[in-house]
Structure 1
Amino acid sequence: MKRGHKIAVNQHHEQYDPQGTPDFPLEAYFTNLASYPNNCVPLHWHQQVELLTVYNGAVTVMGKNYKKVLLEGQGCFINSNILHGLFPYKDYECQLFDIVFNPSLLKNDFSSYNHQFIDAILLS
């Protein structure tokens, strides 16, 4: 598990640092917002999907058209190609678990489950 401290983004806010390996495109993070510049993960997007859970404290998850406060024990799913950032909520410190992975890990070629459930989520 990596400990996040900053992310690399291009001029279009696309995150380009690698997530996992080509053979297993998944990365797990334990993140303390206080370890990032300005105590936040700036707006960015990536082709991977993301599962995030607040371990301690509270965080504001923001994007182009949304803003949601997550408290300790709460989490969210961030779909691929969605602009998002993590910002402090009031004066709360925040630690969170974050898993970022290629959506292909959810699929196989032999199941109607893909079309009925997985594709419905990933294409929404």
Structure 2
Amino acid sequence: MDPLLVMSLIKVESNFKEDAVSRAGAVGLMQLMPKTAAWICERAGISGEIDITSPVDNIVIGIEYLRYLINLYDGNIDLALRAYNAGPARVDSQNVIAKEYLLKIKSYYRIYRLLYFWVR
């Protein structure tokens, strides 16, 4: 997983605030819904005591979820990111909010690729 893409996603989702909580109930750096986090842990075989408010656990589970979505959409990062934001059942290419969300992530991704060119 590209760490700069993950950083861009975190920037847009929580602005790097590890205690962020959305109105919908998503928590942490990667703004995971508790049910989604539990499902992805079960699916990925992540066992033991998981705390999605922990930055490390939140990022590990968020990356697993993003990986799942990228695979679900046959490597289409744009669709995977839209699904990360709206949920796979609500991915709609005409959704204005999803377009703005995607533009923000791509903008930060470009910036991070310039700033951290040595990461790749």
Say yes or no: TM over 0.5. Answer: no
TM-score (ref. length: structure 2): 0.23
Larger radius of gyration: 1
Q: Which has the higher helix share?
A: 2
TM-score (ref. length: structure 1): 0.22
- Higher relative contact order, structure no. (Cα contacts within 8 Å, ≥ 6 residues apart): 1
Q: Which has the higher strand share?
A: 1
